[in-house]
């Protein structure tokens, strides 16, 4: 599905291009690998899951489609971005 179709279908999605990755961490989460990506000049982490480890994105430029969520940990709320689609720019 194209980015334009995704954005039309889901109003809460945001698409950003040519964003620089400053940190990329991968860790096992059950049968999945949870990826946390930090983007230059953005305080919230971008997270996504895959069934396999992914090549390191640190230092790369990426295009992402994502939406904002809030996760509660130990009674505290943390903002994060759930990535729907990520590709190298």
pLDDT digits (tens, 9 = 90+) for 43-72: 999 999 999 998 899 999 999 999 999 989
**Tokens (6 digits) for 61:** 């430029």
Check pLDDT > 60 for residue 17.
yes
| Residue spans of beta strands (DSSP E) within the chain | 14-29, 32-39, 46-50, 61-73, 76-88
Res 50: pLDDT: 94
Does the pTM surpass 0.95? The reply is: no
Of the chain, the percentage scoring pLDDT greater than 70 comes to 89
């Amino acid at each position: 599905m194209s980015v334009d179709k995704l954005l039309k279908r889901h109003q809460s999605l945001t698409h950003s291009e040519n964003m620089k990755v400053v940190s990329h961490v991968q860790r096992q989460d059950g049968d999945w690998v949870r990826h946390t990506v930090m983007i230059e000049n953005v305080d919230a982490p971008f997270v996504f899951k895959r069934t396999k480890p992914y090549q390191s994105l640190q230092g790369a430029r990426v295009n992402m489609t994502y939406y904002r969520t809030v996760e509660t940990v130990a009674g505290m709320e943390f903002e994060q971005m759930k990535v729907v689609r990520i590709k190298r720019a």
